[in-house]
Structure 1
Amino acid sequence: MSQSTLKAGTGRSELLARAEHAPHALGMFAEASAQLRRFMPFDAAVWRVTDPETGIMTAPIHAENIDDKGCANYWEIELFAERVNLYSELVQAPVPVAGLRETTGGDPGGSAIYQDFMRPRGLHDELRVVLRVGGRPQGTVSLFRARGRKAFDAADTAFIGSLVTPLAKRLRSFAEPRPAGAVPYTLGVPGGPGLLLFDPSGVLVSVNDEARRYLDELPDGPSALTAMGLRVPPWLHGIATKVRAAAHERDRGTARIRLRTRDGRWLVCHATCMRQADGSLGGSAVVLEPAKVSDVMPLVADAYELSERELEVTRCVARGLSTEKIAGQLFLSPHTVRDHIKAVFEKTGVSSRGELVGLLFIDHYRPAVAGQEEANELASITKR
């Protein structure tokens, strides 16, 4: 075994160990990027969390040596003009890693990202990565090398490919509920929806006070200052851009993401494209609002690696159904239901149905966000 191979193996182990001990996604990105740079040099990078159901970038985002406005411009180019190594295609690829120059045979001139984003910044090559597990994207990474450096090669692709699944699993695990008492209930936060309106060119033109407060609660990251004096993060520009791209038939899919505030509460962000009085396409409206239990539950279940059947059983448990009723509803034997419940208990580290519902639902659905009435209803389930 060569010395370089040994160093790469040691570097991989150190990188994954640091990622495993990171307290949150931003910390994981910073640690992974710093370790990776030692063994596979690059000059700029953007690490993004994605919503595993829609594949759209969400918060948080970690950027290195990329201007804040560039992070938003990159995504607009990706959705409206790019043809090479699209993330939407890469997520389905056998190996979700691709270098721009390697893909284009050293001639990236047909790439809009290269022409409009990279060249003006003196960047020579890009290595794109989708961090996925179970076919679901948990994050994306863009690594850039500046002009004068060699292009990313097959060895780089293979090394990054070996990190995809473990880093994706670590990202997925951040949806697990935090330890009891780690994050207190936060009272007095806005309960109504936050609304942001973008014009047809993607410029923010109007925002309500609730949206400003929601944005203030989100993790730090790159953001672009608007004429309204509000700093707008790339993921927000991204979802507004995606819905415009879909309206122009340049993209498809639901413009919807889930994201977490600094104190651990979940929000939902979704967008729609507006039409003018004459029927022509107009700007886009983006809504930020507290997440419902049904929004968060799939993420938490995925973090604990619950199977589809185990999730179905868990939902029935949350409704207060007995073993016999669950068996009848799901066309299973009572013995099989008990086995599923036991497996769920083992994966989540609880010992009763009440603890399970409290862990998967109430810990994420704080009264400050959900509304006291529904939170009380959920709490009553744990006492059945």
Structure 2
Amino acid sequence: MSQSPLNGGAGRGELLARVEHAPHPLRMFADASAHLHRLMPFDAAVWRVTDPETGIMTAPIHAENIDDKGCAAYWELELFAESVNLYSELAQAPVPVAGLRQSTGGRPGDSAIYQDFMVPRGLHDELRVVLRVAGRPQGTVSLFRAGARGAFDSRDTAFVASLVSPLAKRLRSYAEPRPAERIPYALGVPDGPGLLLFDGAGTLVSVNDEARRYLDELPEGPSSPTALGLRVPAWVQGITTKVRAAAHERDRGTARIRLRTRDGRWLVCHASCMRQADGSPGGSAVVLEPAKVSDVMPLVADAYELSERELEVTKCVARGLSTEKIAGRLFLSPHTVRDHIKAIFEKTGVSSRGELVGLLFIDHYRPALADGQDAQEENDFASITKR
């Protein structure tokens, strides 16, 4: 029987109020976990940010009472062996919260993660959560209980389900630009892409200096030691495991995530599987590099709750197009374009086109310019912000 001292709306309200004041996702996770533990006790937890387009975990990750190697082992099992409450399926479920023992009718042994991850660590049950809003996953949570506490019950599931949307919205909001923290984008950024090479078993075998510098700039979290003297973050292991699973036809989808450095700059991380001479899966390559404006804008648009059409209009504004040209390009009337721009101003809290572009395309969102397209973006940016 559950030992959860849930106290309804009061406890939920206090938790969400604390989350609202958290300055960044790691603090949000720590505060939410501490408060939730008082309302609904558990023995271990992992809170992860996910890329809303691919659903893959990214940085940061907050883990409690789970060994660092365990985070990588967990994801290996999830992608290669698990069949119960898969995150990819839970993200599409009517209620994105599920307890292992509830889902298996009291037969947790049906789960590979239970057998190979939980039992060795003395864990009895897991409650999985996908934090989603508007159909897009912003994060995932794993809560674990040891046997003494009993299994998660329907009351626990319902309470956590009531937190899904507000917690996801708060996670989404962290993509909003923070003007007070603007810094020159090129400062401290490596000249080239960071590259990490893994063998077929997922072991790091080579890394360039740029990758080490990128990793030094990212938030701390669970990581595994390597023979190269570099600790590999759990999210790097996760994206590497995903491409290996895809190569073995255990998974599908794009292995690509976006993440922020400690000083607020955006990076893109993507991975691909290498093939041997006979065509069989070999190792994998992971690349880290500065994000482009086009990489970040969908996240910023979500943070401000801009619609797809409003995002299209915003991109046109960033190009310096007039209302009439925007109308022609998007097959809208000038009146409709003006209505969209007004709505965009209200959502983002600005009062002019120049202020809008200055807010959304500040320096730490843009890499050093390298090609003609980026140069055109720079010219557009400069001409608009002078108006």
Equivalent residue number for residue 77 of structure 1: 77
Q: Does 1:43 align with 2:60?
A: no
Equivalent residue number for residue 298 of structure 2: 298
Q: Does 1:127 align with 2:113?
A: no
**Which amino acid letter does the alignment assign opposite residue 216 of structure 1?**
D
Equivalent residue number for residue 185 of structure 1: 184
The partner residue of 1:379 within 370, 378, 382 is 382
Q: 1:198 to 1:146 in 2, by over 3 A?
A: same
Equivalent residue number for residue 338 of structure 1: 338
Using the size of structure 2 for normalisation, the TM-score is 0.95
Query: Secondary structure of 1:49's partner?
Result: strand
Query: Secondary structure of 1:238's partner?
Result: helix
Question: Retained in 2: the 8 A contact 1:268–1:288?
Answer: yes
**Which amino acid letter does the alignment assign opposite residue 231 of structure 1?**
R
Question: Retained in 1: the 8 A contact 2:130–2:137?
Answer: yes
Equivalent residue number for residue 254 of structure 1: 254
Structure 1 residue 6: deviation in Å? 7.9
Q: 1:84 to 1:271 in 2, by over 3 A?
A: same
Equivalents in 1 of 2:30, 2:179: separation in Å? 23
Structure 1 residue 363: deviation in Å? 4.5
Q: 1:217 to 1:343 in 2, by over 3 A?
A: same
Question: Retained in 2: the 8 A contact 1:198–1:285?
Answer: yes
Equivalent residue number for residue 95 of structure 1: 95
Question: Retained in 1: the 8 A contact 2:172–2:303?
Answer: yes
Alignment of 1:229-244 (within 5 A): 229-244=229-244
**Which amino acid letter does the alignment assign opposite residue 149 of structure 1?**
R
Query: Secondary structure of 2:202's partner?
Result: coil
Report which stretch shifted further, 319-328 or 53-62: 319-328
Q: 1:237 to 1:370 in 2, by over 3 A?
A: farther
Question: Retained in 2: the 8 A contact 1:177–1:364?
Answer: no
Q: Does 1:220 align with 2:220?
A: yes
The Cα offsets for residues 49-95 of structure 1, whole Å up to 9 and x where unpaired, read as: 00000000000000000000000110010000000000000000000
The Cα offsets for residues 154-174 of structure 1, whole Å up to 9 and x where unpaired, read as: 000000000000000000000
Query: Secondary structure of 2:148's partner?
Result: coil
Q: Which runs of 4+ in 1 moved over 3 A?
A: 369-376
Question: Retained in 2: the 8 A contact 1:362–1:379?
Answer: no
Structure 1 residue 330: deviation in Å? 1.1
Q: Does 1:24 align with 2:24?
A: yes
Using the size of structure 1 for normalisation, the TM-score is 0.96
**Which amino acid letter does the alignment assign opposite residue 382 of structure 1?**
T
**Which amino acid letter does the alignment assign opposite residue 384 of structure 2?**
I
Aligned length: 379
Unaligned runs of 5+ residues in structure 1 are: none
Question: Retained in 2: the 8 A contact 1:269–1:289?
Answer: yes
Q: 1:161 to 1:324 in 2, by over 3 A?
A: same
Equivalents in 1 of 2:251, 2:282: separation in Å? 17
Equivalents in 1 of 2:101, 2:365: separation in Å? 46
Equivalents in 2 of 1:371, 1:380: separation in Å? 19
Equivalents in 2 of 1:379, 1:65: separation in Å? 49
Q: 1:6 to 1:278 in 2, by over 3 A?
A: closer
Query: Secondary structure of 1:137's partner?
Result: strand
Question: Retained in 1: the 8 A contact 2:6–2:39?
Answer: no
**Which amino acid letter does the alignment assign opposite residue 386 of structure 2?**
K
Equivalents in 1 of 2:272, 2:280: separation in Å? 14
Structure 1 residue 222: deviation in Å? 1.1
Q: 1:221 to 1:5 in 2, by over 3 A?
A: closer
Structure 1 residue 328: deviation in Å? 1.1
Equivalent residue number for residue 12 of structure 1: 12
Question: Retained in 2: the 8 A contact 1:52–1:136?
Answer: yes
Structure 1 residue 376: deviation in Å? 4.0
Equivalents in 2 of 1:320, 1:380: separation in Å? 7
Equivalents in 1 of 2:282, 2:346: separation in Å? 51
Equivalents in 2 of 1:343, 1:252: separation in Å? 37
Question: Retained in 1: the 8 A contact 2:183–2:364?
Answer: no
Equivalents in 2 of 1:6, 1:242: separation in Å? 37
**Which amino acid letter does the alignment assign opposite residue 313 of structure 2?**
V
Structure 1 residue 311: deviation in Å? 0.6
Query: Secondary structure of 1:324's partner?
Result: helix
Equivalents in 2 of 1:370, 1:347: separation in Å? 29
Equivalent residue number for residue 278 of structure 1: 278
Q: 1:176 to 1:34 in 2, by over 3 A?
A: same
Seq. identity, %? 83
Structure 1 residue 380: deviation in Å? 3.1
Equivalents in 2 of 1:27, 1:110: separation in Å? 35
Question: Retained in 2: the 8 A contact 1:292–1:370?
Answer: no
The Cα offsets for residues 112-163 of structure 1, whole Å up to 9 and x where unpaired, read as: 1101100000000000000000000000000000122210000000000000
Question: Retained in 1: the 8 A contact 2:320–2:383?
Answer: no
Query: Secondary structure of 1:145's partner?
Result: strand
Equivalents in 2 of 1:124, 1:53: separation in Å? 32
Report which stretch shifted further, 354-363 or 250-259: 354-363
**Which amino acid letter does the alignment assign opposite residue 185 of structure 1?**
P
The Cα offsets for residues 30-58 of structure 1, whole Å up to 9 and x where unpaired, read as: 00000000010000000000000000000
Report which stretch shifted further, 185-194 or 219-228: 185-194
